[in-house]
Amino acid sequence: MEVAARAGVSIKTASRALNGEGYVAHETRQRVQQAADELGYRANGMARELRLGGNTSTLIGMLGGDLGNPFYSKLASGLEREVRFRGLQLVTVNTDEDTRSEQRLTDALLERRVRALVVASTLPSHEHLAAEHRHGIPFVFVDRPPVGLSADAVLLDNRGGAHQAAAHLLELGHTRIGIVGDLSRLSTNQERVTSFGATLRAAGIADWREHLIEDAHDVDTAQRAVLDLLRRDPAPTAIFTTNNRITTGALRVLHRLPAPPALIGFDELDMGDILGVTVVTHDPENMGRQTARLLLERLDGYAGTARWVILPTRLIPRASSRRPPGTG
Amino acid sequence: MEVAARAGVSIKTASRALNGEGYVAHETRQRVQQAADELGYRANGMARELRLGGNTSTLIGMLGGDLGNPFYSKLASGLEREVRFRGLQLVTVNTDEDTRSEQRLTDALLERRVRALVVASTLPSHEHLAAEHRHGIPFVFVDRPPVGLSADAVLLDNRGGAHQAAAHLLELGHTRIGIVGDLSRLSTNQERVTSFGATLRAAGIADWREHLIEDAHDVDTAQRAVLDLLRRDPAPTAIFTTNNRITTGALRVLHRLPAPPALIGFDELDMGDILGVTVVTHDPENMGRQTARLLLERLDGYAGTARWVILPTRLIPRASSRRPPGTG
DNA sequence: TTGAAAGCGCTAACAT
DNA sequence: ATGTTAGCGCTTTCAA
């Protein structure tokens, strides 16, 4: 250690001084501190952890496909606040929904020995994590469940939420309802779409898939999908959008229409109340807290079977669903 | 290395096999690979980097006070996409605007030897980073400039944007204009407020500070501040909000009013066009790209003086500022 | 094609 | 109160 030399002490004494361990003469400590400052010295955390055996990291990794989405950022924020109490730090990485990226970033986090990993994955399978998981590093999956791997998860009641949305529209007399969905391979989307459809079918609407458009993954695509639905004859009198981005796209189209169809979106919107959009809402920050809870219990030694927490959703009726089927 | 033992080879051979270096017998490689799989082995990135001397990390750290804010998440996303081309990975940490947290997280990232650091700091000074910086690890400050330290930065033309907002309102005939600002210690806020005020003063409005409320850091506080302004007699006929959160708070109040004052907000809003809110906008993703550019040039060896990039802002007039001063 | 030894920066254990 | 030795898991260098 360069610092030790400059201060004229042994390497170990320098270490003691810098780490504030006892048994260092006042004057020595000062000399070391000064040398360190002059050199711009910073302890090498990697070497320390390497020496200490690897489970001293205070880093929790979180991996997500689209952490820019307010849903995930609120989730992360709830999680972060919770783990911070325990002296743990959250680092997040964004995979941009790119599978290769997700692989590489998972490796990077794991190789750097994060203490635990929170995964909001878009991958179709997580078997590549199985070995790691058996080795003891805790994973908690959020929003989307682990596949090919038994691990803790915090999920939404997607089926329940979609069911409420469908029931609400049926009650208002709608029978021709369009659905605009996200990537069809995503489990969240599948659950929302199929549950919504099942409720329609149970009400005697057998051909609900006629008005289903999926894979509208961004706002622009969603806009086009909604336009497509509206141009049909007869056009749907109501539309269900399966997430916040898609709802945004739908709003961009609908707000220009003199007599727009009814609208229900999954996920609350920042301006949902102002815009009067009926939504199926839930509490992302609470999701973060639940995630933290599972994580911390694992860190505290719980080694039982994987636990899944399913969080409730709630329908908030607002103006956008009050438009009766006749108006369109 | 446990794997080596299990495969019955030397530790070095195992290393070679796993890293795909040449000169390993086919059969040996397979044996090693199998042993690794069975053991759930994962290379220890810390040990590798330690051995390699420390500048092999592919991690870029980004530190922000409120990465959940769409402004920062868009910025991060622009940055991420850019560095990914270079095989670099972005990890972000959120300090929740907490000074102690910011300190600790900076240390954590630096101790883990990230390759470079992007800082959206809320600290009043960054002198503690000076030594580090001299040591060669590149910093790029975004949104808020470095203080007590000479480093690259990507900033917004806050003064210009605020000036445009003020000029726009003056042109429309407003003379009693409320301002709701963020934390007064933040340089961004100071620039926006003082520039806005200077433009008013130049137009003969000397008492503009009468209608200034600062430190409205979250949506709720902003709501209360706007209500406070509106209850005054005479109330302002227009309001300028210095960031997206505050604008959101203002909208919550104004949208319920029969004859709301005019409104201009700094930062674009997700639903800005739908809601018809006049804003001073800019391009956060581009900010991320510019940040990446400065960063990568440093990584490529540029060692010249610090460079500041100031990005333009643009006024988008929409319905919310078309409300004339007489209406309120 | 494989292996042995040394050392990256650090700290625990044991001297002194 | 301070120093020495060993070793964390890896890779580089040199040898076999």
pLDDT (tens digit, 9 = 90+) per residue, B163-182?
999 999 999 999 999 999 99
The mean pLDDT of B56-62, rounded to a whole number, is 89
- What distance in Å separates the CA atoms of residue A89 and residue A234, rounded to the nearest whole number? 54
- The model's confidence at residue A328, banded by pLDDT at 50, 70 and 90, is very low
According to the model, what pLDDT value does residue A220 have?
Answer: 97
Are B275 and A274 inside 8 Å of each other by CB? yes
Q: Are residues B231 and B295 in the same domain?
A: no
Question: Mean of the pLDDT values across residues B71-82?
Answer: 94
Q: Which helix (H) or strand (E) holds B79?
A: helix B70-84
pLDDT recorded at residue A166:
98
Terminal-residue alpha carbon distance, chain A: 76
Which domain CATH number covers B199?
3.40.50.2300
d(CA B159, CA B13) in angstroms, rounded, equals: 62
Distance between CA atoms of residues B264 and A18, nearest Å: 52
pLDDT value at residue A91: 92
Could you tell me which residues come within 8 angstroms of residue A169 by beta carbon, excluding any fewer than 6 positions away? A177, A238, A240, A262, A264, A321
Render pLDDT for A6-16 as a digit per residue (tens, 0 to 9): 888 888 889 88
**B274 CA – D6 C1', rounded, Å:** 68
Q: Is the pLDDT of residue B327 over 60?
A: no
Residues 35-64 of A with CB under 8 A from B: 37, 39-50, 54, 58-59
Segment A255-266 mean pLDDT: 96
Q: Name which residue leads in pLDDT, B159 or A51.
A: B159
B64 shares a domain with B122: yes
pLDDT tens track for A72-115: 999 999 999 999 989 899 999 998 878 888 888 888 888 888 99
Q: At what angle do helices B219-231 and B244-254 cross, to 10 degrees?
A: 50
Average pLDDT over residues A202-223: 97
Question: 3-class DSSP state for residue B25?
Answer: coil
Same domain, A226 and A321: yes
Whether the predicted pLDDT of B328 surpasses 60: no
Contacts of B251 in chain A (CB under 8 A): 271, 274
pLDDT class for A36, splitting at 50, 70, 90?
Answer: confident
Instruction: Assess whether A231 and A319 both reside in one domain.
Output: yes
A99: closest CA of chain B, how far (Å)? 13
- Classified as helix, coil or strand, B176 is coil
What CATH number did the domain enclosing B17 receive?
A: 1.10.260.40
Sequence-distant (6+) residues with CB within 8 A of B231 are none
User: Are residues A199 and A320 located together in one domain of the fold?
Assistant: yes
pLDDT digits (tens, 9 = 90+) for B252-304: 999 999 999 999 999 999 999 999 999 999 999 999 999 999 999 999 989 99
Task: Quote the pLDDT of residue B3.
Answer: 86
**Taking the C-alpha atoms of B65, B68, B74 and B77 in order, what is their torsion angle to the nearest 10 degrees?**
90
Mean pLDDT of chain B: 92
Residue B243 pLDDT > 60, yes or no?
A: yes
In DSSP terms, A264 is beta-bridged to A240, A278
The residue-averaged pLDDT of A197-212 equals 98
Say whether pLDDT at B54 is over 90: no
One domain for residues B151 and B228: no
Residues 97-116, chain B, touching A (beta carbon < 8 A): 101, 104-105, 107-108, 110-113
**Alpha carbons within 13 A on the beta-carbon side of B26:** 0
Give the type of residue at B102.
Answer: E
Q: Of all residues in chain A, what percent carry a pLDDT higher than 90?
A: 65
Round the CA-based radius of gyration of chain B to a whole number and report it.
26
Beta strands A308-311 and B212-213 are unpaired
Q: Distance (Å, rounded) from C-alpha A82 to C-alpha A97?
A: 26
Distance CA A200, CA A177 (A): 9
Residues B106 and B246 in one domain: no
Residues A63 and A134 in one domain: yes
Q: What are phi and psi of B83, to 5 degrees?
A: -75, -25
CB atoms within 10 A of CB A167: 16
Mark whether B35 and B21 lie in a shared domain: yes
Is residue B130 within 8 A of residue B144, CB to CB? The reply is: no
How would you classify residue B173: left for phi > 0, otherwise alpha for psi between -120 and 50, otherwise beta? left
Distances B115 to A63, A165, A274, B129, B153 between C-alpha atoms, Å: 20, 48, 44, 15, 17
Q: How far is B185 from chain A (nearest CA, A)?
A: 23
Contacts of B74 in chain A (CB under 8 A): 68
Of A80, A89, A132, which is closest to B40 when you measure between CB atoms? A132
DSSP state of B261: P
**Vertex B272, ends B267 and B275: CA angle to 5°?**
140
Predicted pLDDT of residue A156: 98
- Chain B hits for A47, CB-CB cut-off 8 Å, are 46, 50
Q: What is the pTM of this model?
A: 0.92
Question: Is B311 within 8 Å of B282 (Cβ atoms)?
Answer: yes
Contact B120, B95 (CB under 8 A): no
Alpha-carbon gap: B252 to the closest alpha carbon of chain A (Å) = 6
Q: Which residue of B has its CA nearest to A49?
A: B46
Q: Residue B146, preceding bond cis, omega within 30 degrees?
A: no
| Structural domains of chain A, count | 3
> Cα–Cα–Cα angle for B68, A158, B76, nearest 5°?
20
Q: How many angstroms separate the CA atoms of A248 and A254, rounded?
A: 10
CA dist A4 and A11 (Å) reads 5
Q: How far apart are CA B295 and CA B138, in angstroms?
A: 7
Please provide the DSSP assignment of A267-309 as one string. Answer: S--TTHHHHT-EEEE--HHHHHHHHHHHHHHHHTT--SS--EE
Cα distance between residue A262 and residue B305, in whole Å: 58
Q: How far is it, in rounded angstroms, from Cα B129 to Cα B212? A: 34
How far apart are alpha carbons B147 and B130 in whole angstroms? 10
Residues packed against strand D, CB within 7 Å? A 9-13, 16, 22-25, 27-28, 47, 50-51, 53-54; B 1, 11-12, 15, 18-19, 43-44, 47-48, 50-52
Indicate if A8 and A97 belong to the same structural domain.
no
Q: What would the mean pLDDT of B108-132 be, rounded to a whole number?
A: 88
If asked whether residues B60 and B151 sit together in one domain, one would say yes
**B70 contact residues in A (CB cutoff 8 A):** 68, 70
What percent of chain B has a predicted confidence (pLDDT) above 90?
A: 65
Residue A59 CB burial class (10 angstroms; 0-12, 13-18, ≥19): buried
Task: Tell me the residue type at B121.
Answer: S
Based on the fold, state whether residues A323 and A213 are members of the same structural domain.
yes
Q: Are the beta carbons of B237 and B261 closer than 8 angstroms?
A: yes
Q: Which domain holds residue A276?
A: 158-282+315-327
Each residue of A22-50: b (16+ CB within 10 Å) or e? eebeeebbebbbebbeebebebbbbbebb
